[in-house]
Structure 1
Amino acid sequence: MTETLQRPDTAAADRSPAAHGRLTLPQGAALYVGAVLGTGVIALPALAVQAAGPASLLAWLGLVLLSAPLALTFAALGARFPDAGGVSTYARNAFGPRWAAAVGWCFYFAVPAGAPAAAVFAGAYVEAAVGGGQRTVLLTAAALMLAVTVTNLFGVTVSGRVQLVLAVLLVTLLVAAVVTAAPHGDPANLHPFAPHGWLAVAPAAALLVWSFAGWEAITHLAADFRRPQRDLPRAAGIAVVVVGVLYLAVAGVGILVLGPQAGTGAPLARLLEIGLGGPAGALAAAAALLLTFGTMNAYYASAAKLGAALGRDGALPGWLARGARAGDVPRRSLAVTASLSALAMVAVAVTGTGAKPLVLLATGAFVAVYALGTASALKLLPRGTAAHRSAMVALVAVTALALTTGWYLLWPLAMGAGALLYQRRGTRA
């Protein structure tokens, strides 16, 4: 481990993939859509309406606009430095190994914190359809986590194919919900537009960051693309359009159709019931399962690759390093991610902790990852390019988002401190 930290040239050589993987452009776009268009669309529109009323649409719009420079920045970095380390690799190249370890820990340990929250969101939709109370919620969540783990055991090529099918199904379902429910909308439901004041848009935006986390996740899979320099930016561009349109459509139609009820219960289920009729609860549960599986699938794949890269680079135990190269399956790192997620799920079940604190913990970590990622881009990307200008815009916006996250930023600070202590211990060993 000491040798890894003291010989950066050798480590850099080891980080260079011998060959690219097999992910195609459609599969990559589907992974992006799955990572970003996740559980936020089934749960967070209601929480945002509770926080800011119809003015929450401004928070949605602001984060959609922020997505474009964020996606362009991370796609440019992934295309330029295709490596399983993702943002950790960019921080290493820009600021050195300590910052790389800190940001790597922030991402790696945010996934087990966020996975139970995502799975519980889906479980609540299933419970609403079939009943069974908290038992159904927890069993659904556990089944989702197991299914995602098994899928990723076969590697990113298989999970990419699965993701493509899921993306087509969930986009079709969301479009159907919006199109069929929209004629029932009433513009009067937009008034009063800001019942809790204009400042309430800020806490709504802090909640919604969860909905837009994911632009950094696929960078860990950049080397697994067939042509990362060409396909990664294209996949990100496709995802920005798809995700932005769907998020704004679901949130906007939800408020227009449901009015004050958009802040309660499961708004997607209500839209399906109004627009399509029939077994709306079953359709909503199916949408929730598809969305959640897609998100967790992308994040488990990314976290597993990152853990292997961190093991390779000395920021985590070396036995995790197997699977860091393009095309390899990081099963050891995946096992750690799955185990930590399961422990977090047990803690949720025992304590009865709601999903909101977990959402904000994960949000705090992802804001820190975005901040270090965009700061790295300013050093690594050529000045005067569109990607460099996008990184400047993204860094300013992410800094503003960090201010809305509040004390939940203590989580990434703790992760960063843990990474530095681990490296210091490894250097002394």
Structure 2
Amino acid sequence: MSPSTNASSPPGRQPGPSHGSLTVLQGAALYVGAVLGTGVIALPALAAEVAGPASLVAWLALVVLSAPLAATFAALGARYPDAGGVATYARQAFGPRASAIVGWCFYFAVPAGAPAAAIFAGAYVAAAVGGGEQTVLATSAALLIVVTAANAFGVTISGRMQLILSSLLVALLVTAVAASAPHARAGNLHPFAPHGWLAVVPAAALLVWSFAGWEAITHLAGEFKHPARDLPRASAIAVVVVGVLYLAVALASVLVLGPSAGRLSAPLAELLVRGIGGNIRLLAAGAALLLTLGTMNAYFAGAAKLGAALGRDGALPAWFAAGSLAGDVPRRSLAVICALAAIGTLAVELAGVGPKPLVLLTTGSFVTVYALGCAAALRLLPRGTAAHRCAQCALACVVALCLATGWFLLWPLAMSACALLYLRVSRRRTRDAAVRCDVS
């Protein structure tokens, strides 16, 4: 067990030097890919449907929250560069039970969220080339295969691919916003809150999906060349890029598309149509694929490392532990994530329930991870520092998000119960095995 995950280690203890290969730009690209992903594909329309133009308030609030939240997790990642990420911080602060809860909530949220993300992209492809649900399913399967294969060759390849993908999608979003800007109408802001100001709360609960990701790259902190220096820099770059682009796309959706924004399943495609004209559904489908591929790539990389760390620390079976060290590839954990995501995709398609419940279930898990991570930061980060003050602010905001998520918190509560039950059964088996050895 590494020092960063040893519960008996003093909170201020620094782990040994890293031998990773991720650069600042690659790390920022992974951050951007983790956060700036499927949110811009469908959620501007869903949020506008719930709150109208007032959904812009929810977008702005979550952009503002991103700064202290990203700073908190970057400070923790720089101090404890370990594959366990938030699970490591919870162990340091509260012990192995809290670590297992965080690990299970995050690890099993990724296979639940991946089908929703893939279905969003598949819908864009189906709109461009036809084929209906068969095209959606085929696209989802292709995304799972590509992301799994990329990460199976190691995080260095994933980081380079992410840098290219993030650059392309940023350029595409800037083009969509700039091209559609001449069609913006201030009159589309009225009425600003057609469903009342309280509608901003459920809109914010939906938009948590768009901003989940600030904790994901902490699992790859040990892969940076210089975690203490590079991780905060990568985080700061990503906060600025993500904040500007999200607000620009959300504002363009309201000002350009007007009341129809809430009825569109592909607002980004419509912005491109308004700004450029012609039949550009294939371009919109390409954008959806890039965004989804970037998000899934970052989350698969982080979650696979987390699963290996949980296996190493006894929160999952020891079979998962292969690949937990910096530089190693956690292929076993990655294979489990891919298999569960494939099962989830098939289940959603067969049941015909759509991706929205999966979005809310996933965000329920993420806000739970955020809450425990920020609480751990209050115990681990030096008091009186800027990082500690950021953690205080972030925790207050995350508690509000937990309340907005509502009954979808039942999913992370169920995962928490499963994690504690596994620990209890595992320890009982260990004690029984020790007793048998003593008897023999």
Give the aligned partner of residue 250 of structure 2.
251
33-42 vs 272-281, which moves further: 272-281
Aligned partners of 1:379, 1:19: CA distance in 2, in Å? 24
Q: Show the counterpart of 1:97.
A: 96
Judge conservation of contact 1:17–1:326 (CA < 8 Å) in 2.
Answer: no
Q: Name the counterpart of 2:418.
A: 418
- Provide closer, same or farther for how the CA distance between residues 138 and 81 of structure 1 changes in structure 2, counting only shifts above 3 A: same
Matched letter for residue 137 of structure 1: V
2:189 paired residue number:
190
CA–CA separation in structure 2 for the residues paired with 1:242 and 1:18: 29
1:300 aligns with 2:307: no
* Contact in 1 for aligned 2:307/2:320 (Cα 8 Å): yes
Find out whether 1:35 has 2:34 as its counterpart.
yes
**1-side partners of 2:7 and 2:177: how far apart?**
52
Equivalences for residues 151-230 of structure 1 within 5 A = 151-230=150-229
Alignment partner of 1:396 is 2:408: no
Residue identity (%): 72
Note the alpha carbon deviations across 1:276-315, whole angstroms, 9 max, x for none.
2233211111110000000000000000000000000000
Superposition TM-score, scaled by structure 2 size: 0.94
- Mapped contact 2:124–2:285 kept (Cα < 8 A): yes
* Correspondences of 1:321-340 after superposition (within 5 Å): 321-340=321-340
Whole-angstrom CA distance in 1 between matches of 2:353 and 2:76: 37
Q: Which deviations, in whole Å up to 9, do the C-alpha atoms of 1:122-167 show, x marking residues without a partner? A: 0011111111111111111111111101110001100000000001
Q: Gaps (5+ residues) in structure 2?
A: 430-440
- 1:66 is matched with 65
Name the residue aligned to 1:127: 126
- Distance in 2 between residues matched to 1:389 and 1:284, nearest whole Å: 41
Q: Deviations over 1:397-428 (max 9, x none)?
A: 00000001011101111101100010011111
Distance 2:41 2:16 in 1: 38
Matched to 1:417, the amino acid is: A
**Aligned match of 2:438:** none
Whether the aligned pair in 2 keeps the contact of 1:123 and 1:140 (CA below 8 Å) is yes
Separation in structure 1 between the aligned mates of residue 166 and residue 199 of structure 2, nearest angstrom: 33
1:8 Cα deviation after fit: 5.1
Matched pairs, number: 421
Match of 2:232 in 1: 233
Deviation at 1:18, TM superposition (A): 6.5
Partner residue, 2:262: 263
Shift of the alpha carbon at 1:72? 0.1
Distance in 2 between residues matched to 1:325 and 1:58, nearest whole Å: 42
The residue matched to 2:326 in structure 1 has which SS? coil
Question: Which amino acid letter does the alignment assign opposite residue 80 of structure 2?
Answer: F
Uncovered stretches (5+) of structure 1, i.e. residues with no partner: 2-6
CA distance in 2 between counterparts of 1:263 and 1:288 reads 19
Tell me the secondary structure at the aligned position of residue 119 of structure 2: helix
SS at match of 1:138: helix
Give the counterpart letter for 2:229 in structure 1.
R
Letter of the 2:145 partner, please give it: L
TM normalised by structure 1 equals 0.96
Contact 2:43–2:206 under 8 Å retained in 1: yes
1:122/1:285 contact within 8 Å kept = yes
Give CA-to-partner distance per residue, 1:162-204, whole Å, 9 cap, x none: 0000011000000000001011110000000000000000000
SS of residue paired to 2:382: coil
